[in-house]
Amino acid sequence: MMDFTPSPAAAFSDAFQAHIDAAMEAANQAQPPRNYIGASRLGEECERMLGYEYHQTPKDPDAHFQGKTLRIFDRGHDAETRMANYLRLAGFTVLTERPDGRQFGFGVAWDDARGCYRISGHCDGVVTAGPDDFGPYPKLWEMKALGDKGWKDTQRKGVKVSKPLYYAQMQLYMAYLGLADHPSLFTAINGNTGEIYAELVPFDHAAAQAASDRGARVVSTLTPDELPRISKQSTDFRCKFCSYAQRCWSEAQPAAAEAPAPWNWGN
Ligand code: SF4
């Protein structure tokens, strides 16, 4: 029989991790919510969820990111820098920020009250030159760090089918950053094996328009309740993982905080 007795260090390790987790989770929850919708979110299927995010609706009481999830997010950010360095090492010219240090991005629908654009996004980078075999240039570059399962699914099905959120995000960047003439470069690193998946993603006008239209619908609302739920059933698997499920499916839906005036699109 195998011995499952915890090692003497387990208690110390658990307490140590709990200490780090508590600090990270408190810092994360203290961050002010975004007061705009990011391009990275506009491929989200549920418009009601986007409405909750845009209107800065508090998440359900038990819905917050755990420390280990926050560290996975951080690993994803770190991977962008590493992959940019790998690309440069391999002969690509990759721009990841402007001379003043700001990321390349776009914003539409300026809001005086919020002091920001209602829809905006920042891309990982632009590849302006490189080996002829992988051109033409310039091209948008988007990078993700994925777990083994997600990475293999992306490799098997391609970005459009496997990761529609990323696909919509890239389409918006191509459209708004003037990078629609050449297919974008999508790269993903397998966090378990270190393998790289790369795909050229051509501009898809219909997908870019659909994501842009979705953003316009979301920022034109006074409350999230104006937007459709993705399902008629609270038991839908997508709702099970949603941070707003309790609020969304409760009979009395509290009003969202600080609902802004609807945006005038000039039509
Ligand atoms: S609970 Fe379901 S319908 Fe409601 S916001 Fe979340 S995903 Fe959308």
Q: Is 50 in the pocket of ligand 1 (CB under 6 A)?
A: no
How many Å lie between the centroid of ligand 1 and the Cα of residue 26? 25
Rounded distance between C-alpha atoms, residue 197 and residue 187, angstroms? 6
Q: What is the DSSP letter of 177?
A: T
Rounded distance between C-alpha atoms, residue 131 and residue 93, angstroms? 10
Task: Tell me, yes or no, whether 28 lies in a domain.
Answer: no
The pLDDT of residue 101: 87
pLDDT tens, residue by residue, 72-103: 999 988 999 999 999 999 999 999 998 888 88
Rounded distance between C-alpha atoms, residue 165 and residue 230, angstroms? 15
Task: Tell me, yes or no, whether 12 lies in a domain.
Answer: no
Ligand 1 nearest-atom number relative to CA 46: 8
Are 125 and 104 contacting, i.e. CB atoms less than 8 angstroms apart?
A: yes
Ligand 1 nearest-atom number relative to CA 224: 5
11 phi/psi in degrees, rounded to 5: -65, -45
Ligand 1 binding pocket mutation candidate from 41, 44, 49, 246 (most atoms within 8 A of CB)? 49
What is the DSSP annotation of 54-65?
Answer: HTTPPPPTT---
Task: Tell me, yes or no, whether 255 lies in a domain.
Answer: no
> In CATH, what number is assigned to the domain containing residue 198?
3.90.320
Are 244 and 57 contacting, i.e. CB atoms less than 8 angstroms apart?
A: yes
> Which one, of 219, 258, 217, lies nearest residue 117 by Cα?
219
Strand order in the sheet with 105-111: 37-38, 116-122, 105-111
Ligand 1 nearest-atom number relative to CA 248: 4
Task: Tell me, yes or no, whether 17 lies in a domain.
Answer: no
Domains: count for the chain: 1
Task: Tell me, yes or no, whether 21 lies in a domain.
Answer: no
Q: Whose CA is nearest to atom 5 of ligand 1?
A: 49
Cβ count within 10 A of residue 120: 19
The pLDDT of residue 203: 98
Helices H, strands E: what count in the chain?
A: 9, 8
Task: Tell me, yes or no, whether 6 lies in a domain.
Answer: no
Q: Is 217 in the pocket of ligand 1 (CB under 6 A)?
A: no
Length, in residues, of the chain: 267
Q: Is 227 in the pocket of ligand 1 (CB under 6 A)?
A: no
Task: Tell me, yes or no, whether 5 lies in a domain.
Answer: no
The pLDDT of residue 8: 74
pLDDT tens, residue by residue, 163-189: 999 999 999 999 999 999 999 999 999
Q: Whose CA is nearest to atom 4 of ligand 1?
A: 248
| In the block, residue with structure tokens 């470069």 | 185
Task: Tell me, yes or no, whether 261 lies in a domain.
Answer: no
Ligand 1 nearest-atom number relative to CA 48: 5
Rounded distance between C-alpha atoms, residue 95 and residue 141, angstroms? 9
Domain that holds residue 175: 33-249
**Tens-of-pLDDT digits for all 267 residues of the chain?**
566 677 778 888 999 999 999 999 999 988 888 889 999 999 999 999 999 999 999 889 888 899 999 999 999 889 999 999 999 999 999 999 988 888 899 999 998 888 889 999 999 999 999 999 999 999 999 999 999 999 999 999 999 999 999 999 999 999 999 999 999 999 999 999 999 999 999 999 999 999 999 999 999 999 999 999 999 999 999 999 899 999 999 855 544 444 455 555 443
